[in-house]
Amino acid sequence: MNVGRLVGRLGPQHLLTLARHVAGGSEFLITANERLTRRQLFARIDALAAGLQALGARKGDRIATLLPACPEAVYALFVPWVLGSVEVSLDPRLGEAALRRILADCAVKIVLTTRSWRSRDPAATVAGLRPHLPGLRFVIATSPGRHEHGAAFSIEGLMTSEVAPWRARISLKEPGRIACVATPGRPLRAIEHARGAGWGLATAAARPHLDPAALRCLLLPFSPCHPAAPLGIMAALLAGGKVILMDHFEPQQALELIEREQVTQFCGTPGMYRRLLQAPAQTRCDLSSLRRATLAGGFCPPELVTAIGHRLCCPLERIYGTAESGLISWTAPGDPRRLIANTVGRPAPHVEVRLVDSRRRPLPADEPGEIAVRSPQMMLGYHNDPEATCDALDRDKWFYTGDLGALDTDGCLHLLGRLR
């Protein structure tokens, strides 16, 4: 059964319940060290939720994840739907000062992290911050035993409970996720979303993008805190497919994974695709399993889009969005290559787009300006930063992206660069 066919007919909680019970023995998650079926994944999610409840985690508690691409990061994505907690998704590249500020500002109670990532020990870093964070009760890491400071417990040990977790009553309108992503050239901010914000896309119009043939095996080379990661994981879950997570993008490894795992969909940024096409192995690896290539992110030169299409020999899809507003626009299956090369498609379902001048006055459709968007996926605001929220989000809930764009007569959005 393809649960994706029910998108737009059932709410997110019903869809997730169905998805966890359909084809439980089929493989769903592949990481560097583990392969998990759907049944195994959701059993571990429930076990982690029960373990967290045993530590005192309750509805509304802020539980931070400071994790690379690993199974535990995926568990943490679903745990809030069981506990009613708020996930605080942290970029593992964050420095000590930024971590201290965000953990304090978000009143984080529990941190899920690791003891080893790129020659660093994030668990030790967070444990060392505990004297400055009186609200932080537990630091829980992804390796056995206790941390040398006695502050970090094992996630594996926490998941030994055989008691089923108590499921909280949740609302799609209550806060559900706070994402903190370090983006070059932009200030670090904690972006708060309602629990159901990402499900604003779950309409009948989204069904063509949940093609089971394309999503049979999705390769995601993004950090779990990147907005594309939860979107891709949920899409594969609903379409009956599986997901391969990469801790960081390395073109040789990506090409080898596509060939070995018979990847059917790859999602990457323009920079990732450029490196992929320049890698020596791209001429040797068999990429014929690909059914769709998704190009995410900002501006992409039309010639690069054309080169991607020629080399991968599969349909292309472009998506455009921001961490604050979610997905803004996408191209549709069957759109001509010229449209895909030159635009980022039309606004996604229930998303409004307009162009504004420097005083935020609406411009005619054919005149370039700043891209403004209003969407059910929109953030609630920058956490504890009303001034920054008011600067980016006006009283009518229009968000000003800082991107320069234009709308053509067919309603397609053209990205022209950054304004700020």
From first to last of its 420 residues, what are the pLDDT tens digits of the chain? 567 677 767 777 778 888 887 878 999 999 998 999 999 999 999 999 999 999 999 999 999 999 999 999 999 999 999 999 999 999 888 889 999 999 999 999 999 999 988 889 999 999 999 999 999 999 999 874 444 444 468 899 899 888 899 999 999 999 999 998 666 566 788 999 999 998 877 777 778 888 889 999 999 999 888 888 999 999 999 889 999 999 889 999 999 999 999 999 999 999 999 999 999 888 889 999 999 999 998 888 999 999 999 999 999 999 999 999 999 999 998 899 999 999 999 999 999 999 999 999 999 878 999 999 999 999 999 999 999 999 999 999 999 999 999 999 899 999 998 887
pTM of the entire structure? Answer: 0.92
Tokens, residue 84: 């009613």
**What are the residue ranges spanned by the domains of the chain?**
40-194
| Rounded Cα gap, residues 113 and 116, in angstroms | 9
Beta-strand pair 175-180/152-154: unpaired
Beta-strand pair 138-141/108-113: parallel
| Rounded Cα gap, residues 208 and 210, in angstroms | 5
| Rounded Cα gap, residues 17 and 20, in angstroms | 5
pLDDT at residue 149 in the model: 46
Half-sphere exposure of 50 (CA within 13 A, CB side): 15
Tokens, residue 387: 């001034």
Element (H, E) at 347: strand 346-347
* CATH fold of the domain at 40-194: Rossmann fold (3.40.50)
Element (H, E) at 127: helix 122-129
For the chain, state the CA radius of gyration.
21
| Rounded Cα gap, residues 90 and 67, in angstroms | 8
Beta-strand pair 265-268/217-220: parallel
Q: Tell me which DSSP letter residue 374 carries.
A: E
The answer to whether 353 and 362 have CB atoms below 8 angstroms apart is no
Amino acid type, 214? A
Going from the C-alpha of 137 to that of each of 58, 112, 152, the distances in angstroms are 13, 12, 10
Beta-strand pair 86-90/138-141: unpaired
Tokens, residue 19: 């998805």
Q: Tell me which DSSP letter residue 25 carries.
A: T
Write b or e for each residue in 400-417: b if 16 or more Cβ atoms lie within 10 A of its Cβ, otherwise e.
bbebbbbbeeeebbebee
Three-state SS for 235?
helix
Residue 152: beta bridge partners? 139
User: Among positive and negative, which fits the CA dihedral 399, 402, 408, 411?
Assistant: negative
| Rounded Cα gap, residues 63 and 383, in angstroms | 15
